[in-house]
Chains A and B, each alone.
Chain A
Amino acid sequence: MPTLDTDVLDRLRTELASVRPDIAATAPADATLKHDLEIDSLDVLEFVARVEAAFGLVVPDEDWQHVATLASLAEYVAAHRTLP
């Protein structure tokens, strides 16, 4: 398992703060956004969209289950990002 990129994770938390400022800093990286953290579905879409724009990638629908947690999203971003 690749080392978790803490820079990416920190930036994800910054984006998460735009929809859930209350949990952005403290949410466990391996908690699922929807079920564990109970982030509203619209907020999850907004959060992922902001991450996509920030890093220059698109998460296709078929990869949606691979970005269910902050950790898995960070891993996905690290692998697919086109922006520094």
Chain B
Amino acid sequence: MTADLTAGESAPVTACVTGYGAVTALGSASQTWAGVLAGQTAARPWQDLADEGFAVTTACRVTHLPTGEPERRGRDLASAAVADALGLADGALDAVPGDRIGVYLGTTMGESAGYERATSSFSVDAHNGAALARHVAELLGATGPVRAYGTACAAGNYAIGAAAAAVRAGRVDVAVAGGVEPFSRIAMVGFSRMRAMTPDLCRPFVAGRRGMQLGEGAAFVVIESAERVAARSADALAVVGALGLASDAHHPTSPRPDGSGMAAAMLASLSRSSVSPADVGWVSAHGTGTAQSDAAEAVALRAVFPDGVPVSSIKGAIGHTMGAASAVETVVAVQALAAGTLPPNVNGSSPDPGLGLDVVVAPRRADVRWVLNCAYAFGGLDSALLLGRAA
């Protein structure tokens, strides 16, 4: 991005990722990356769900953290992911005044168990996404902006996009941003009774795919300006481009079949970042594995990338982690950029050729400079976030 400077304007700021952390059913960020590359799926049946009378008992759940109090699961997932991110960022918060640290968090259900186990003393303020954001702020000693997004399955992108914008605008020195989604029994019932949930495997972009699979997890990134990264001799792991947002304005749950909202979000991210479709080396698809959403996404991708673009979804590996999904995907994108490797479409090595997509079916070495991370939510919310290779 270039700009002619006029009096009073400063040079454009680049937002850089200096740390990341994730907690998924495959494990930590590096375990998630390794598992996705190996085509592993964390999906398995769960006896407690069978005992409780769920029709679908297969899901992706985090097993490497202590079980803890059910109503603190979201906080526990967030704490682990934030700790890993700060560890990698190695001193990002040193000597930063609290009011110069910003927290940006996305979720769908918040602390779902809090609602599921509600008694007469229920308080929404203890369990909603704002509570999770406050929890992260307390962990960091952050007294700057704290923003919680309730934008469902796109919330991670919203949070990370806003955090990067805050860094670029100088509203904060360091932003910690991501998404959290503890396992939600409410969602388990809701999606399966909407007949949107696969009984066995989540197979994005495959003919005859039978739906999404529920996951749980959290992922966070630490974002600072390139100038600050250089000043403290840290490493930029990736750069964050502009967030593109659009709406279908169509239906409470079904996307527009013409993919026009999805395409608008992708184009907005690209144009606001001054990146052309030809510069994108990989699209991290929303790819939930439902008949409708994958089909609409394919139409949108063909419109935005008429010459094709490598595409894959990680939801076959770790399930749909909803509010955390696009944050986990951001962390995977950072690793893909660093490794120069595109991850495969797990459980989708035989994509439907009728979708007209270049689906990555095995790990692919590539000189990838930009990754477009797409996430779409109920209500027709469309988001796309560009991540770029650190210079």
Mark out the residues of chain B between 142 and 168 whose CB falls within 8 Å of any chain A CB in the assembled complex: none
Assess the A41–B254 pair: CB atoms within 8 A.
yes
Interface class of chain B by DSSP: loop
For B193, list chain A residues within 8 Å (CB): 45, 49
Q: A76 to chain B: closest CB distance in Å?
A: 16
Q: Which chain A residue shows the least CB distance to B193?
A: A49
User: B55 and A58: CB pair below 8 A?
Assistant: yes
Q: Is the CB of B210 within 8 A of A61?
A: yes
A45 touches B210 (CB 8 A): no
A31 to B: closest C-beta gap in Å? 21
B45 at the A interface (CB under 8 A): no
Residues from chain A with a CB closer than 8 A to the CB of B252 are: 42
Is there a chain A Cβ closer than 8 Å to B95's Cβ? no
* Chain B: minimal CB distance from A44 (Å): 10
B194 at the binding interface (Cβ < 8 Å): yes
B253 at interface by CB-CB < 8 Å: yes
How big is chain B's contact interface, by range? 10 to 19
Which residues on A sit within 8 Å (CB–CB) of B194?
42, 45
Q: Is the CB of B55 within 8 A of A61?
A: no
The verdict on B64 contacting chain A, using a C-beta distance below 8 Å, is no
**A45 vs B193: C-alpha distance when bound (angstroms):** 8
Q: Does B272 contact A (CB under 8 A)?
A: no
The yes or no answer to B365 lying at the interface (CB within 8 A) is no
Residues of A within 8 A of B199 (CB): 61
CB neighbours of A41 from chain B (8 A): 253-254
Interface string of A30-45 (1 = CB under 8 A from B): 0000000000111001
Least Cβ distance of A82 to chain B in Å? 15
Q: Given A58-B55, A61-B210, are A42 and B195 neighbors across the interface (CB < 8 Å)?
A: no
A42–B253 CB distance below 8 A = yes
Enumerate chain B interface residues (CB-CB to A < 8 A).
55, 193-195, 199, 210, 251-254
Using CB atoms and an 8 Å cutoff, list the residues of chain A in contact with chain B.
40-42, 45, 49, 58, 61, 64
